[in-house]
Amino acid sequence: MTQRTNEDWLHELRAGGEKQELALQDLRALIMRGLPYALSGKLPTDSPEFEALAEEVAQESLLRVLDNLDTFEGRSQFTTWVQKIAVRAALTELRRARWRNVPLPDMMMSDDPDSPSYEVADGQPNPEVLLERNEMLQLVNHIIMSELSEKQRSALMMVAMQDMPLDEAAQRMGTNRNALYKLMHDARLHLKRRLEEEGLTPRQILSIFEKVGG
């Protein structure tokens, strides 16, 4: 991996083109090397789930890095900052996997005092909440359909909404992994900025995607 200063990393990741692609490749390799240590004791590296999890974590981590470059304050090595992002992404994905594997009756009640606490909603949201969420979803759909490029829409739909593996999405779009990272980053950043311009808070933005459709 090419040796870079903090300033080098920031410059190359913002540069686009070949410089950005090479920097993303090196960051991905760094993340993949660190994950076995980060997940030690939580998921064996020889587990069938590890490879899929590692790929998902690397993908999400690079997107988070690109989305949050402006928040890096330089108080640590850039690579250390990236590794912390990757660890948080890995732990989040492990929690998601645990939830996916919990049958519905077990999520609703458990006699095990060590099991995680699950909150069961008390009925359906009231009509005002449903109306507000529906309006926000319509706004998101309008922004996606009218303000994103065709390639950005395709990337967002396939990867973020249909959960398609990155390599498969890139192949279908006739592009490569790093170019797809860039499309996803630009689409997410535009969507976030536009929703903020409409006066939505981060909490409201997150609520849009919580249990949509039940």
Task: Return the CATH number at 16.
Answer: 1.10.1740
pTM over 0.75: no
Q: Which of 187, 195, 201, 127 is nearest to 159 (CA)?
A: 187
> Per the structure block, which two tokens stand in for 71?
């928040």
Please check whether residue 108 lies inside any domain of the structure: no
- DSSP-assigned states of every residue in 119-184: PPPSSSPPHHHHHHHHHHHHHHHHHHHHHS-HHHHHHIIIIIIS---HHHHHHHHT--HHHHHHHH
Residue 162 counted as domain residue: yes
Do 90 and 157 belong together in one domain?
Answer: no
- Tell whether 72 is covered by a domain: yes
Residue 62 in domain: yes
Out of 85, 102, 119, pick the residue that ends a domain: 102
Report the CATH number at residue 133. Answer: 1.10.10.10
CA distances from 25 to 1, 51, 90, 214 (A): 9, 17, 19, 38
Q: Residue 4: its pLDDT value, please?
A: 92
Could you tell me if residue 107 is inside a domain? no
Q: Please state the domain count of the chain.
A: 2
Instruction: Give the pLDDT confidence score for residue 204 in this predicted structure.
Output: 63
Same domain, 90 and 142: no
109 within domain boundaries: no
Local confidence pLDDT in tens for the 214 residues of the chain: 678 999 999 999 999 888 999 999 999 999 888 887 766 666 667 777 777 778 888 888 898 898 889 899 888 899 999 988 888 888 777 766 554 443 433 333 333 434 333 333 444 555 666 666 677 777 888 888 889 999 998 888 888 777 777 778 888 899 888 888 888 888 888 888 888 887 776 666 655 554 333 3
- Is 155 among the domain residues? yes
Q: Are residues 75 and 156 in the same domain?
A: no
* Same structural domain, 19 and 93: yes
At 109 the pLDDT is 34
pLDDT of residue 102: 39
Among 36, 67, 102, residue at a domain's last position: 102
- The residue segments making up the domain with residue 62 are 6-102
Tokens describing residue 160: 């973020």
- Together in a domain, 75 and 138: no
